[in-house]
């Protein structure tokens, strides 16, 4: 295929439990400035801007308005996605594919430290049938986890291995918030939060921001000696109500990934992809998502992890950055996956570089239990 949209600049902050030493706009200014420097462009070169953030996590409403100046939007068109940053990239692509923009900035930011993450996530649920039950991202995730693990006979220890892998690999990622050698026993001994999810199975609560610069085919070739191209992209949504979804069937992710693979001409993702960055807020999700994206058969996510297929040095390393277990600012996570995928394809992954990576997958989700799913394939 002939790719139409290039990623010509990327930047991310270090993820931290509390970035309260600087204001949100100070964080965002640095990350936008760095993405422009990476792309070799200035504010004047930007035709349009897309931001991604969620109001309650920002502690105000229409919260993107505080970002207008600092994302370079003055006297330019800007739109905002109240959801995952990888979803915002779809908006940026559309502006370019419509011919309305040659160069587009996509920025996502979140500060989990400002409020109570799980309490805020309770407000995601509809107020009529679900919110007053007290559901949140943790308890909803636990319902999905227990269903998945029962259906495919996955043990808590097998989920714990995801945590061990990701925390270990996060040590190679200078942007990680949590990174260390951990053991399965340590994960198993961490406090039970919502059966079967334990404290260490959950991504930390994080502050951070991320930015990328997209360019049209023409500008991508003109501005970059070796642009990274978006080869495939797919997005798909499932229902909101938890009882009216097949929580383990994962049709939304199957469809999103199949769309992305078809665009990129990929038939066997395990063989044809070199690295995947996956948005898993809980350990079980990395296993479930890798199955749904066709890296293995259903119920085999834990098996391929155990065999080292998804580890560094394996056939298809998943989350060399440590993934969301290493840092999890809401909405930033999916865009971070794309930044990591681009760095891998550029060969700039440093200690976490997968040798010879040419095609990388980035995955993002929005809502609870992966209600919204986004998949992108990037390559040279």
Partner 1 sequence: MNDHVERMVLQGKVDLPFTYSAGKTASRFFVELRDHQRIMGKRCPRCQRVIVPAQLFCKECFVETDEWVEVGPEGTLVTFTIVYRKENHHPKEAPFAYGIIKLDGADTSMVHFLGETDVTKLEHGMKVRAFFSEERKGHILDIECFRPIS
Structural tokens at position 209: 């921001």
Could you tell me where the beta strands, DSSP code E, fall in the chain? 5-12, 48-52, 78-81, 103-111, 192-194, 197-198, 207-216, 228-237, 275-277, 359-366, 372-379
Which of 36, 46, 95, 142 touches partner 1 by CB under 8 A? 142
Structural tokens at position 287: 């296993």
> Can you say whether the dihedral through the CA atoms of 141, 146, 150, 154 is positive or negative?
positive
> Minimum distance from CB of 184 to partner 1 (Å)?
20
Select from 78-86, 138-146, 298-306, 325-333 the region that touches partner 1 (CB under 8 A). 138-146
> Minimum distance from CB of 55 to partner 1 (Å)?
9
- Residues contacting 12, CB < 8 A, separation 6+: 31, 175, 208, 209, 210, 211, 336, 339
Q: Which of residues 57-116 bind partner 1 (CB under 8 A)?
A: 59, 116
**DSSP assigned state of 203:** P
- Residues pairing with 109 in the sheet: 209
Which of 49, 67, 135, 333 touches partner 1 by CB under 8 A? 135
- The answer to whether 56 contacts partner 1 (rule: CB under 8 A) is yes
Q: Which of residues 271-300 bind partner 1 (CB under 8 A)?
A: none
- The answer to whether 139 contacts partner 1 (rule: CB under 8 A) is yes
CA gap 369, 288 in Å, rounded: 11
Structural tokens at position 242: 């938890």
Closer CB to partner 1, 127 or 313, in the complex: 127
- The answer to whether 122 contacts partner 1 (rule: CB under 8 A) is yes
- The answer to whether 371 contacts partner 1 (rule: CB under 8 A) is no
Q: Which of residues 150-209 bind partner 1 (CB under 8 A)?
A: 150, 191-197
Which of 138, 330, 341, 378 touches partner 1 by CB under 8 A? 138
Closer CB to partner 1, 305 or 368, in the complex: 368
> Minimum distance from CB of 198 to partner 1 (Å)?
10
CA gap 10, 206 in Å, rounded: 20
Closer CB to partner 1, 133 or 262, in the complex: 133
Select from 96-104, 122-130, 305-313, 346-354 the region that touches partner 1 (CB under 8 A). 122-130
Question: Please, what's the b/e burial string for 167-186 (b: 16 or more CB within 10 A of its CB; e: otherwise)?
Answer: bbbbbbbebbbbbeebeeee
Q: Which of residues 238-267 bind partner 1 (CB under 8 A)?
A: 239, 241-244, 247
CA gap 317, 320 in Å, rounded: 6
Give the binding site for partner 1 (CB under 8 A): 20-21, 56, 59, 116, 118-119, 122, 127-130, 132-136, 138-139, 142-147, 150, 191-197, 239, 241-244, 247
């Amino acid at each position: 295929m002939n790719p139409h949209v290039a990623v010509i600049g990327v930047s991310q902050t270090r993820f931290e439990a509390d970035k309260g030493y600087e204001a949100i706009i100070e964080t965002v200014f640095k990350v936008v400035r760095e993405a422009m420097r990476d792309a070799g462009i200035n504010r004047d070169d930007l035709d349009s801007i897309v931001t991604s953030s969620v109001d309650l996590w920002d502690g105000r409403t229409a919260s993107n308005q505080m970002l207008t100046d600092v994302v370079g939007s003055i006297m330019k068109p800007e739109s905002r996605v109240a959801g995952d940053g990888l979803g915002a990239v779809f908006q940026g692509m559309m502006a370019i594919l419509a011919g309305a923009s040659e160069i587009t900035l996509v920025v996502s930011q979140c500060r989990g430290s400002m409020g109570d993450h799980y309490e805020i996530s309770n407000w995601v649920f509809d107020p009529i049938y679900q919110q007053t039950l007290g559901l949140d991202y943790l308890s909803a995730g636990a319902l999905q986890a227990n269903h998945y693990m029962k259906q495919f006979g996955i043990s808590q220890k097998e989920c714990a291995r995801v945590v061990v892998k990701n925390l270990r690999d996060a040590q190679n990622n200078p942007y990680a918030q949590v990174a260390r050698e951990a053991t399965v026993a340590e994960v198993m001994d961490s406090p039970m939060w919502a059966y079967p999810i334990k404290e260490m199975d959950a991504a930390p609560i994080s502050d951070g921001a991320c930015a990328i610069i997209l360019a049209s085919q023409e500008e991508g070739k003109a501005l970059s000696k070796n642009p990274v191209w978006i080869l495939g992209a797919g997005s798909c949504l499932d229902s909101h109500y938890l009882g009216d979804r097949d929580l383990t069937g994962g049709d939304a992710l199957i469809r999103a990934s199949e769309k992305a693979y078809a665009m990129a001409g990929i038939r066997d993702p395990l063989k044809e992809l070199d690295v995947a960055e996956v948005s898993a807020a809980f350990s079980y999700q990395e296993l479930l998502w890798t199955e749904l994206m066709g890296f293995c058969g259903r119920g085999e996510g834990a098996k391929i992890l155990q065999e080292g297929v998804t580890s560094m040095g394996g056939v298809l390393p998943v989350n060399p950055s440590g993934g969301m277990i290493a840092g999890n600012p809401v909405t930033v996570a999916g865009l971070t996956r794309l930044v990591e995928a681009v760095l891998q394809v550029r060969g700039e992954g440093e200690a976490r570089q997968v040798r010879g990576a040419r095609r990388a997958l980035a995955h993002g989700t929005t809502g609870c239990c992966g209600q919204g799913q986004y998949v992108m394939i990037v390559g040279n």
